[in-house]
Amino acid sequence: MVKFFQAIVFCVVIISCREAKADDTAQKWSPRNKYWRHLLKEQSGLDDGNGEHFDDMQSCVRTALSESNDVVLQEKTAVPTIVDTLTDSQNRTVLVEIGNAITPSQVESVKRLAECTRLYFPESRFDHRDFELSGGGNDCTFMNILLQIFSPEVYENVVNIAKLAYEKAGWGEQLRLRPPHMCGLRTSEYLNYKEFKRLGGHADTGSLFTVLFALSDPKLYQGGEFYLLPRDEPDDRMYYFKPRQYSAIVFLSDTHHGVTDLEGPREMFTNEFWVYDDAPWHGSTRADNAEMDVFVQRVEETLDHSVDYYEEDDLIDLWPFEEDIDEFDGYSSGHGFYEDESSDDELNAIEDKNDEL
């Protein structure tokens, strides 16, 4: 009987320690987590309507990473370094390029997390994304929240690289943007261009800054240059970058950008920060401002916001449907600095560059 009670006490201690550790992890690496922290606390809740997959994801990620331990053992520590910056016609820094921004083991973590995500959420977290208006596209695996839960060290690195660029660019003093660690993560995406040959010009309207990591060696593909067009640039001048493997490009999200024609394997890892908290798990895979404005207003009107985090049952009915957005006229049109549009001259210039390549 004594051994029985000792076993019970031991189990309770183990569970309590695991919950405390999980809670500490969430607080340290993702402070704006009140809409999904219950998932980590309860070690459950990753259900997209086709079953609970928290344990499945945890097991999948651990197994995949244990198979790639040789990458970690062979890895040498490299210090992230500012490589280049780009300013617009108003002398605002719109882009910062950083070398050694992600380690080989972190790249493996991103790829494995993407594989596990597609395995257990093939319909809700994967999109063969076609940019119908501007052309091209990419195969996108949405990993927001999954990244923070199962690869917190990678998420921490994303924030640190964003902070490095933020400080170098002076976006706090110059544009009064809040620092990355005080922003929510709007989306985290693993991008593959195997089925697409370019990415049409667009802007990540509604986000503050985008952190784009190069996972592939640029020698393995032809073309595939990242291009950027700062607004009000004289003669619509565009800038082209072919990011080196393990480097990152951090730029103001509302800046027009895209990818030129390419041949060969090109893999990227992109993350967008915005003014809101992280979106809830059951919300959109890439929530927009209108959705979050309605959702936040409902939370403020119906829930006790003195709590550290909310339960799933509190939030599930508050996420808006499309008709709710149409009826709500109080949302913002974006928190950026450029309009999400392209002139004919810009599009022609992009096509000319593609022809050259």
What CA dihedral angle connects 179, 182, 185 and 186, to 10 degrees? -80
d(CA 162, CA 226): 18
Residue 184 has pLDDT above 70, yes or no: yes
Question: What are the pLDDT digits (tens) for 42-70?
Answer: 999 998 888 899 999 999 999 876 665 55
Predicted local confidence at residue 191, as pLDDT: 92
Question: What does the DSSP assignment read for 332-346?
Answer: -S-SSSS-S---HHH
Torsion region of 305: left, alpha or beta (phi above 0 gives left; psi -120 to 50 gives alpha): alpha
Tell me the mean pLDDT in the region 18-28: 48
Q: Quickly count: other Cβ atoms within 10 Å of residue 123's Cβ.
A: 10
| Nearest-angstrom CA–CA distance, 185 and 187 | 6
CB 161 within 8 A of CB 211: yes
Angle, CA of 330, 334 and 336, to the nearest 5° = 150
| Cα 205 to chain centroid, rounded | 14
Residue 241's contacts (CB-CB under 8 Å, 6 or more residues apart) are 97, 225, 226, 227, 228, 249
Q: Looking at residue 237, what is its pLDDT? A: 83
pLDDT value of position 74: 53
pLDDT digits (tens, 9 = 90+) for 124-152: 999 888 777 667 778 899 999 999 999 99
pTM of the model: 0.82
Tokens of 315: 């939030």
Selection from 209, 191, 222 nearest residue 252 by Cα: 209
